[in-house]
Every structure is written in structure tokens, then in C-alpha cells.
Amino acid sequence: MDKILRINMGDKNGPKASEGPLGDYAGLGGRGMTSAIISKEVPPLCHPLGKDNKLVIAPGLLSGSHAAQSGRASVGCKSPLTGGIKEANVGGQGAQVLARLGYAAIVLEGKPGDDTLYKVVIKKDGVEITPENSLKMMGNYDLVDKLKEEYGDKVACISIGPAGEMKMAAASIAFTNMEQRPTRHAGRGGVGAVMGAKGVKVIILDDTGMPTRSPKDPEKFKAANKAFVQGLKKHPITGEGLPAFGTNILTNVINEAGALPTHNFKTGRFDGAGNISGETQSEIMKARGGMVAHGCHKGCVIRCSGIYNDKDGNYITKRPEYETVWAHGGNCGIDDMDAIAELDRMDDDYGLDTIEMGATIGVAMEAGLAKFGDAQAAINLLKDVGKGTPLGRILGSGAAVTGKVFGVERVPVVKGQALPAYDPRSVQGMGVTYATSTMGADHTAGYAVTANILNVGGSVDPLKPEGQVELSRNLQIATAAIDATGMCLFIAFAILDQPETFNALVDMIGAFTGQDLTADDVTELGKNILSFERDFNSRAGFSAKDDRLPDFFKAEALPPHNVIFEVKDEDLDQVYNW
């Protein structure tokens, strides 16, 4: 990965591609690459859908190699949802293929002068950009099926659905998985709207003839990778829980902890949780001939994904993940697994963030547009989004806008982005992450559930404010570094509990890059990335007042523990004081 591909969509002679060296961005990957480029090159006060914003797609430092779990990509821009910097992390085949093609990043720049829609094809021998208006308003599934007929079943696709074309702030970018289905999404922050604003419907990646990336020290790399995989397989979460039940193993766990946001964050327990738990989900999948343990990209050994079929054994969607099951399930009072799977399929097809849409529908239910528990009403609301009706465009703008339009006070957002599936009153470390993350409310930014609930990497009482700031700070630093490598975030469970597995990861990165790395070097990488992001947000107008949860979390006690969020504002302001 020794070059950056820049595509100027606003060139006076039509879209133009050019390649250049890494320059100042040498040694960066994934989130490190996206955040560095956005922070340095994008005017912080620009309009997110304007010509001055950029969309950066970057594989991780280890992507395209034989490193296990290294198939994550980062998508970065100024967010239409938050107005701040954004990195949306995604699996699928895109990162591996892009890295093998030799690109450390694709940067979409400028903006077309009309509404022409383009497709971009990237191969070993060059880049082709062509108008393709026949793809307009096509869903991601039909789009990929059409492209398979033309380009075969070996390519990887990065695409937007109708939501991205309509520039909705909840729009995602789809990456195809190993079966060439558009099921992996860079979901958060409206990155799909930025791709739509650039006039790009799909990027097709074909790495035919390109070798797997080789490490600088093959023997050391091979040994470190082997030790790393062994560590993942022997940890009870990455080796047993996630392959058997997917991320949705958390539904029963978080519900029991009294932290499952229900009915738009009114309570912390959902009576119907057992009907949509990971255990129930796996039973349904097995009975219908689906697949329980499945990787979303080559090299995945955790295999938390799966295939969810309907009652007749026909494919509907990938295994709906915990966040999706919560957002469209407990948050909306829905305990019908088939309805949730249908909503997940629709989100993927339209190109929408499942977390933002589930939270938005919860706000809409609070406003009286539908009743909590009415699955068909939720499906109908989502259809409005896909059609782009006036109501659909409101909902597609996210929970914050929907709350304003319908006069709802309890709107669970930070910096305009919806909170995910852990109530910050019962998991106070997550509350710190939601409040202070550079990305807006984001569970992956500093996953305090580890120590708050799962007793991974230590134990911090989830119901008390003590220790939460330090926990979130350390996790945010570590996460930024992991996101730069292209590693799946779920490796955190093993590396937090097993020092030898963390050391294997450090050795693997060092052997691949030819550097003699230490744990301190990894920490410094994470701090540098966060500094890029904080600097951008500061210049975009963000301040300490934006690093806060909505007031209702500090005023309304959450059943069953009847607790409020108690971390003080002055303590939140210390998260980035390292």
C-alpha cells in the first residue's frame, strides 16, 4: 500500500483519477489515515455535502495480508449528521481487496456539476470512471446482482442505496461480504450521503493478478499470527460465545444487567428480550438451514456473522447484530425476530445505519406516529424512508431531526448521533464514551462494557461514576490504534485478558512493517489519532459543552436499578488529559 488514489469528481473535464505517493501520510492506515487526511485537508466549517468535503476509504495497516482479523476498512469525512469528523468502521471484502491493489486510501474529492451518477472500476491496470444513470435509486441488493452479471463473482463492491443518493444523514455505505452480498456497512454518521453528494453510486474493486501483501519479517510474522489466533480461539468470548451466538449474545446479558434501552430509553429491561436473544436467534437460524458461524471477510477466525433465512429456508439477511436487534427490537418494543430481520434487510438495501434508524423510529413512536411494539408500523415507516416521502426524509435525517420536528424531549443523541444499545445510566463507562467520543455517541469508540459488565480487562462497577473516566480514556486510545490496523474490534476481549495475545499483536504489526514496536508505540498511535480528531472538531466549533449527554439521563432514574448518570461534567472534561 504505497499510494493514494484521488478521484476529483468536480474536474471541469469530468471525473479524473490520479495516483500519488503517501507523503506525509506514510505509516498510517485505517482510521489513522482517514482522520489524518480529513483533519489536514478538509475545511472544518465546510458544508458536509459540499465540494470541499472529502470521502476517504482506507484499509488497515495489516489489511490484504495473512494477518487474522485484518479485514476492516475505515471510511472518513466531515459528518452530515454530527458536523464533526467521522470514521465509520466496516468489515466485508473491501479492505482486503483494496490493500492488495496497493492503495492505502481512496479519496473522493470535489463535486459534479450535475446529477449524473457514476461507477468507478479499480483494477490492477488502472481506474475507469463512467456515467451510469441506469443505477439511480437502485437498492444495494439489486445493484450488486446487476454488477455480478457484468464483472463476475470475484469483485468487491462499495456502494450506496437510495438513502445515500437522497443524501440522508443516516445513509450508510455498503461493502460486500464473501458471498458478494451488501451486508457490511460503514453505518454511522451519514457517510453514504457524502458518497452520494460526490455522485458515486458504486466502486468496484478487482484484485485479479495481485498478490497477498508480504511482511518484512515473514518468520516472525507467521509465529506472531499463529500465537494471536490461538489467543483468540481460547478466549471464551471470541472462541466460543461470538461464533455460537453472534454479537446478539449480548441481548440477554445486557437485559439482565438492566441496561437494555427499552421504549426509547424509558427502562433498562425488555420483557420480550428472550424472544430476540442470540440464543433464540441461533436456534431459528439452525432450524431453517441458515449458517450460524460465518466470517464477513477472509481471514476471520471469530466468525460472529451468519445467515438468517425465512420460514421457507430462503435467505433474508446476514445474522442481525446485537445493535440492530436492540435498535429495531427492544428500543421499539418489538420482539419478533423475523420482523427485525426484515428491517435489517431493508436498512442494508436502502443503505441506512440500523442504529440511527432504530433510534429514530423509537423517537417517532414516542411522538405517537406508531405504537411501541407495532412491527408492521416500523416496517411501514422504514418504507417511507426508502421512498423518500416527506416523512421518510425527516426520519432519514436521524433521531435528532425527528425529535425536533415532532417536539420530542427524550431524544437519545450526542453531537447529533443516536446512542447505541447500552443505557448510560446502567453502564456509566459507556456514558462517558458516548459523551466524549470525537464521533458523537458511539459504542465502538471506547467499549466500556468490557469492564463494566463482562469483567474483561478488569472490573468497574457499572452503576457508579468512580473509575469510568479512566476506563473510557484508555479504551478510546486503544480503539483508535486498533482501528488503524484493520483489525476487528472484537480482538479487544482477548488482548485485554491475555497479555501474551496483546504481545503477539504488537509483534505481528512490527514484523509486518519492519519496525521494533512496543506497547507504548501502540498507545502513542491511538493518542495521535484522537488528537487529529479533536483538533478538527475544535476548529469546527465543538467545545466541552458538546461532550455531554442529554439532560434526561441525569434527571430520569432508569428502572430496574433506578439510577441516573452521575459522572460529573468536570470529570468528563478530563478524558483527553493524558
Instruction: Tell me the per-residue pLDDT of 71-107, one tens digit each, with 9 for 90 and over.
Output: 999 999 999 999 999 999 999 999 999 999 999 999 9
Q: 323: pLDDT confidence band, cut at 50, 70 and 90? A: very high
Alpha helices in 175-290 (DSSP H): 191-197, 218-234, 236, 242-245, 250-256, 278-287
pLDDT value of residue 489: 87
First to last CA, the chain: 32
Q: Is this prediction's pTM over 0.75?
A: yes
Residue 1 has pLDDT above 80, yes or no: no
- Could you tell me what percent of the chain has a pLDDT over 90? 93
Between CA 570 and CA 389 the distance in angstroms is 43
Between CA 266 and CA 410 the distance in angstroms is 9
Residue 427 has pLDDT above 90, yes or no: yes
Q: 199: pLDDT confidence band, cut at 50, 70 and 90? A: very high
Is-contact 95 111, C-beta < 8 A?
no
pLDDT value of residue 368: 98
pLDDT value of residue 249: 92
Fold topology of 3-205: Aldehyde Ferredoxin Oxidoreductase;  A, domain 1 (3.60.9)
Determine which of 162-176, 238-252, 290-304, 522-536 has the lowest per-residue pLDDT on average: 290-304
pLDDT value of residue 569: 98
In CATH, which of 2.40.50.100, 3.30.590.10, 1.10.1040.10, 1.10.569.10 is domain 246-423? Answer: 1.10.569.10
Over residues 233-246, the mean pLDDT reads 90
Between CA 269 and CA 452 the distance in angstroms is 17
Over residues 167-186, the mean pLDDT reads 96
Q: 389: pLDDT confidence band, cut at 50, 70 and 90? A: very high
Domain 215-245+425-578 has CATH 3.40.91.10: no
Which H or E element spans position 344?
helix 337-350
pLDDT value of residue 129: 98
CB atoms within 10 A of CB 50: 13
Determine which of 5-19, 230-244, 417-431, 440-454 has the lowest per-residue pLDDT on average: 230-244
Q: Where in the chain is the domain with CATH 1.10.569.10?
A: 246-423
Q: Where in the chain is the domain with CATH 1.10.599.10?
A: 215-245+425-578
Q: Where in the chain is the domain with CATH 3.60.9.10?
A: 3-205
pLDDT value of residue 136: 97
CB atoms within 10 A of CB 315: 16
Q: 268: pLDDT confidence band, cut at 50, 70 and 90? A: very high
Residue 460 has pLDDT above 80, yes or no: yes
pLDDT value of residue 69: 92
Between CA 449 and CA 443 the distance in angstroms is 9
Tell me what the pLDDT averaged over the chain comes to: 96
Over residues 151-178, the mean pLDDT reads 97
Amino acid at position 424, single letter: P
